[in-house]
Amino acid sequence: MLRRPAPVVLWLIPVAGGNSPCGLKQFACRARVFAKNNDGSGRSRGKTPLPIAEAWGMKGFFVTGTDTGVGKTLVSAALIHGYAARGERVAGLKPVVSGAVDGVWEDVEILRQASVPPRRREESNLYAFPAAVAPHWAAQQAGLQIDLDAILRFLEEQAAGVERVIVEGAGGFLVPLGNGQSFADLALALRLPVLLVVDLRLGAINHALLSAEAILRRGLPWGGWVGNCVSPQPVAAGTLEGLQEGLPGPCLGVLPHRADPHPRTLSRYLKIPPSP
C-alpha cells in the first residue's frame, strides 16, 4: 500500500522574466534472475519491487530514450493515436517535465491533446519546472524535492477510467529525480514494459546498447524500441543493422524525418502491439 504523499506544488511559475560485447539478447534472460536480489546498482534490495502496474491493472508503456530531444513525446503521442484507432481510451502522462517556452510545456500539451479523451494539463503532468535543466536540479533550485510516491499516486489516479497509459520519462533512463533516485526507480516501481526511443544518428548504437543494458539489468520488461530520424541527414550506414543485431527487439518501427511531424500521421509507421 502506498502512503499518501504530502501536498506538492504542481506548477511552478518564475517570479522574474555492431554487437553488444555482453550480448544483450542473452543478457535479457539472465537479467530476470539478477533482478531478484539487485536493482542493477549492486546494492541488495532484499525484495523484488512491487509490480504496481500489475496490481493496478495498468497496461501500457514506460517510454524512455537514449538522450533528451530524441523524440520520446512524438513516439508516445503516435502510440496513443495507434491505440485510439482501435477504440481504446488512452492517457498520455508525463509526470515530470522541465523547460517551458512562454509558459507552455510543449511535451505535456502534445500528450494531453493526443489522449483519448483529451486531458487537462494537470491531468497529464504533476511536476513542471520552467528552466530547461535536469528535473532534479530544477527542483533543487526551486526549493522542492520530487516525491516518487507522489508520482505513483498521481499515475494511479490518472490511470483510472482508461484502458492504457503511456508514461513518458524526461531525458534518458538514468536522469536523476533527486534524493538518490532516478527515472529508473520510477520504472522499477511501475514495471510497465519499457520502450526505448533511439535517435538514428551516428553514435546511436552505443547509446542504445548502454540504455538497454541499464534497463535489462533491473529485470524490467522490455517493450521494444523505436528508431526516430530527428535529423534530415541520411542514417549512417550500418546503424539500423547494428541496432537490430544488438538490441533484444522487437523494433516497433522507424519514424522518418519530418520538418513538421504530426503524431497521428507518424503512427502508421509503428507496429502497435496487440492488446493482451
Residues identified as active-site: 94
CB atoms within 10 A of CB 109: 14
230: left (phi over 0), alpha (psi -120 to 50) or beta: alpha
- E strands, the chain, are 60-65, 90-93, 96-98, 127-129, 164-172, 176-178, 181-182, 194-199, 222-228, 251-255
Helix (H, G, I), strand (E, B) or coil at 80: helix
Burial of 211 (0-12, 13-18, 19+ CB in 10 A): buried
Separation CA 142–CA 17 (nearest Å) = 15
* Cβ atoms of residues 212 and 243 within 8 Å: no
- State the virtual CA torsion across 224, 160, 88, 215 in degrees, nearest 10: 0
Strands 127-129 and 90-93 turn out to be unpaired
Which string of DSSP letters, residue by residue, matches 83-110? HHTTT--EEEE-SEEE--BTTB-HHHHH
| CB within 8 Å of 144: residues ≥ 6 apart | 8, 9, 12, 127
* Cβ atoms of residues 154 and 126 within 8 Å: yes
